[in-house]
Amino acid sequence: MPVKNRFAELQDEITAWRRDLHENPEILFETHRTSAMVAEKLREFGCEEVVEGIGRTGVVGVIKGKSDASGKVIGLRADMDALPIHEETGVDYASKTPGAMHACGHDGHTAMLLGAAKYLSETRNFDGTVVVIFQPAEEGGGGGKEMCDDGMMDRWGVQEVYGMHNWPGYPVGEFAIRSGAFFAATDQFDITFTGRGGHAAKPQETVDSTVMAAQAVLALQTIASRNADPVHQIVVSVTSFETSSNAFNVIPERVRIKGTVRTMDKGIRDLAEQRIGEVCTGIAATFGGAVDVKYMRGYPVMVNHDDQTEFAAEVARGIAGDCEEAPLVMGGEDFAYMLEERPGAYILVGNGDTAAVHHPKYNFNDDAIPAGCSWWAEVVEKRMPAAN
């Protein structure tokens, strides 16, 4: 795999950064130590500008090329936050924070972008400006949106933006990407059925909220099987079922169910929200109860732009020899907000035969570092080639 020689030389140093981050995970916007470390290293590298506190705890660094005749500005983004999971890897650099771990590889993403920033600061072999973006709160906090809402794109004149994620199951250092809709919109629902509680031996005197909620769990699956066009992707999952009583002989007054909806299309997303309300209202009316439906929209569909996707794939092929067509992913990714503001692309880099992301035994594969760093650097050098 023809990676840049400099990253082979830097691999041990970048690995040490990554393992330090892994040992000290921080969740959502609480990336204070991580952000401080990132900012310190960017200043050490000689970035022209380093700004902290974008999107609460995000960090932005600016690196100028040898020339700026093109006037181009490219953003490169890595996420920094960990997950509220207790680590079970057994590695000697395992999390020192109980109940928190880097179970999605954001420690690797941050370390690789730092490695690329160091190289780009050393060489400056490009014509234009690089904006390196270190984002908090990807795991459900919408840190990407907060950074955009802080005016990041306009403040630094970002014209295109690129992101990367490691992917277990793909060979180490190989790449995959797709144009168009890539990662799903991620919505949540919180539904409470209210009936009339009573003694379980006298069900005729009650309005059974458990029966209503149980009917809803099954009926919500018909949104995918009977309402949505089969060629469109949709997942409706009920993930929590709570009653207001834990007694064996009591029919509860209330039952609360919660879950998630994943879609790849705005129309299907609208349909899901509409039908969840209609289905649950109908069930409550049928059994003589009441229902309160809350539907919360989360991350939008992440959509790769055609031109930038083909360019990202071309760069990947130059490093790994090939770039596969990635599958649709029903997980969410808040890089979607950045791609709504600027054209760009998001690529997957292989993590090898490891545990899946969000698993307590997952660990980022340090062997992927040279390929990931090389891709970042090549995106810059090929998109903004140095003036002769």
The tens digit of pLDDT for each residue in 325-365 reads: 999 999 999 999 999 999 999 999 999 999 999 999 999 99
List, for residues 76-89, the tens digit of each pLDDT value: 999 999 999 999 99
Task: Determine the average pLDDT of the residues in 194-215.
Answer: 98
139 appears as a binding residue in the annotation: yes
Question: Was 102 annotated as part of a binding site?
Answer: no
User: Does 358 belong to an annotated binding site?
Assistant: yes
Class of CATH domain 5-183+301-383: alpha beta
For residues 54-75, give the mean pLDDT: 97
Q: Are strands 323-325 and 49-54 parallel, antiparallel or unpaired?
A: unpaired
Write down the domain spans for the chain: 5-183+301-383, 185-296
106 among annotated binding-site residues: yes
pLDDT for the residue 174: 97
Per-residue pLDDT band for 225 (boundaries 50, 70, 90) equals: very high
pLDDT value, residue 387: 83
What is d(CA 210, CA 255) in angstroms, rounded to the nearest whole number?
A: 6
For residue 2, pLDDT beyond 80: no
Look up the pTM and report it. 0.95
Confidence of residue 95 (pLDDT cuts 50, 70, 90): very high
Count CB neighbours of 245 within 10 A: 16
Output the DSSP codes for 295-344.
Answer: EE--SPPEEE-HHHHHHHHHHHHHHHS-EEEPPPB-S--THHHHHHHS-E
Mean pLDDT, the chain, integer: 97
CATH code for residues 185-296? 3.30.70.360
| pLDDT exceeds cutoff 80 at 1 | no
What is the predicted pLDDT for the residue at 276?
98
Contacts of 369 (CB under 8 A, 6+ apart): 7, 11, 14, 15, 18, 108, 111, 112, 115
DSSP class of residue 127 equals B
Of 1-10, 209-218, 289-298, the one with minimum mean pLDDT is 1-10
pLDDT of residue 270: 97
Q: What's the mean pLDDT in 82-107?
A: 98
For residues 220-230, average pLDDT = 96
- Residue 181, classed as helix, strand or coil, is strand
Average pLDDT in the 201-208 region? 98
Q: At what angle do helices 106-123 and 5-23 cross, to 10 degrees?
A: 140
pLDDT of residue 187: 98
When pLDDT is cut at 50, 70 and 90, the band that residue 266 belongs to is: very high
165 annotated binding-site participant = yes
- In this prediction, residue 377 carries a pLDDT of 98
204 pLDDT more than 70: yes
